[in-house]
Amino acid sequence: MNTVCSSCQATNRLPEDRIDDGAKCGRCGHALFEGDVVHATAATLDKYLQDDLPVVIDFWAPWCGPCVNFAPIFEDVAQERAGKIRFIKVNTEAEPELSARFRIRSIPTIMVFNEGKMVDMLSGAMPKAPFNTWLNESL
């Protein structure tokens, strides 16, 4: 499988059976599957969408109450699904071109991508259990 390093955006080729072995980036040595949420920009998002892992993007803004309340849930699920799904946040205030490109009309908006194509979208925040259920159904 090919996966993108969240630190240097290098693409790393890795056997799928080595995901749980503490894989590190061949360029910078950063852990590839630590479960951290990645903050993407217009310059980096397309690279992350090339990842062989499914990608979940949370389009949010710092002034949005539901977005701020949903952030810990998003981070918890990212930790739990490390090595299986890549979790990304896009600040719509800092990245208006991405908001326009993905036609974000309300926040938070969560999109699931598989092989670079959007497979599902959700508008609004939700508790952890329904969010996990939605992810399972989407993938």
Annotated catalytic sites, by residue? 64, 67
DSSP for 50-89, please give it. Answer: T-SS-EEEEEE-TT-HHHHHHHHHHHHHHHHTTTT-EEEE
Structure tokens, 137: 């159904």
Single-letter amino acid, residue 114: N
* In 1-139, alpha helices (H): 45-49, 65-80, 96-101, 128-138
Closest CA to 110 of 61, 73, 57, 45: 57
Q: Is the peptide bond before 108 cis (omega within 30 degrees of 0)?
A: yes
